[in-house]
Amino acid sequence: MINVTKTFLPPQEEYQAILKRAWDTGWMTNRGVLVQELETNLKKYLGVHNILTMTNGTLPLQIAIKALGLTGEIITTPFSYVATTSSIVWEGCTPIFVDIHPEYLTIDETKIEAAITSKTSAILATHVFGNPCDVEAIEQIATKHNLKVIYDAAHAFGVTYKGQSVFNYGDVSTCSFHATKLFHTGEGGTLFCKAKYFKTMFSHHNFGHQGKEAFDGVGINAKMSEPQAAMGLAVLPYIKTILERRKEVVAFYNEALKETPLKTLKLREQTQWNYSYYPIIFNSEAALLKAKETLEKKEIFPRRYFFPSLNELPYLDYNSMPVSEAISRKILCLPIYDSLLLSDVDEICELIKKSL
C-alpha cells in the first residue's frame, strides 16, 4: 500500500537517547530543556529569531488572532486546509474570502484591496504547498490600510524567498510539525513573530502567566512537551537527506508526466522550495476521479487536497470563488515521501497516463 505520505521516523535508539535526558530529570513539559534546545536549533537552521514551539499547528493560528487583538473581518484564502478558516471562526471573527491565483494557487493579491472594509482587521494568507504568497504586495496593502498580516505557513518548513525564510514575513507566521510534514515532532507546530509581539504570544501560549504567581491576560495551554521536542531533535539532522530524496521524487514525476495535459504548481520566482507536496491539476473533475479510482484499485492512495474550497464550508454563508472552486475539484496530491521508491513513482505515473 502506498499512501499520499509516510512519516519519517529516525532510528528509534536515537530518539530514545534524546528522550532519556528528559526522563532522567523527570521534566516532561512546561518548556523543558529539550523544547528550549529544539527552538535554539530551529532558529539556527531556519534563520529566524522569535520562535515558540507548540503542541500542534492550529493553536499558533488561534493564538495569533487572539494575541493581535483581531476583531471583525479577516481577509483570507478559500484554498487551504480547514484550520485556516476554522481558526478565524473559532476566535469570533468573520472570514472574508479572496480568490486565488490560478497558477501559484496562493491568494490573489490583486483582489485583496477590493475586499477591505471598515471592519477588516487583518489578512491571513497561506503559502500553499510551500509556495510563497506575494509577500511584498500584501505588506504594501497591509501598511496602507493599517492591517495585521498572518501567514499560515504549515507547508513551508525550510522554504526561502529571496534568500530568507518565509517565516520572517508578516507580523506572525505559523507552521505545522504534524507527523505528515517533512519536519515533524509527531504532533506539533510553531509560531514565528516580530519581536514586539513575542512577549504577548509567549504569555498567551502559557495560560497568561507573568511569572509563577501573576497573570497579564487570558491564555491557554499550547506548550510543546519534551517527548515531542525529542522527536524534533531526532528528525532535524536528517532534513537534508529528506529534502534530497523528495527532490528526486519530484524530478521523476515532472519528467514522467511532462507530455500529459496535467498542470503542476507554478513556483513563485526566487523561491527555494521544499518539495512538500506534489499536486497535479486535471482538465476536469471526472478525469481526476477516474485517475484516483485507477490508483486506489492498486492500493495507491493520493489525496484531494484541498477539497472542498473553504468558501463552501457548511457553517459559512456561501460566496462564489470561481478559481478556488474549480481548482479544488480538479487537484490531486500524489504520493511523496523520502522512502518512496522511484519504481513506485513510475507505476503511479503509468497508471495516471493510462487513466487519461
| Model pLDDT for residues 224-256, shown as the tens digit of each residue | 999 999 999 999 999 999 999 999 999 999 999
- State the pLDDT at residue 207: 86
55 touches 188 (CB < 8 A): yes
Helix (H) / strand (E) element for 176: namely strand 172-176
pTM of the model: 0.97
CA-nearest of 267, 269, 263 to 356 is: 263
- State the pLDDT at residue 178: 98
202 has a pLDDT exceeding 80:
yes
The Cα 233–Cα 41 span in angstroms is 8
Average pLDDT over the chain reads 97
Domains belonging to the chain, first-starting first, are 2-237 (3.40.640.10), 239-355 (3.90.1150.10)
Scan for cell 539556527, then name that residue: 44
The Cα 2–Cα 211 span in angstroms is 49
| Model pLDDT for residues 67-109, shown as the tens digit of each residue | 999 999 999 999 999 999 999 999 999 999 999 999 999 999 9
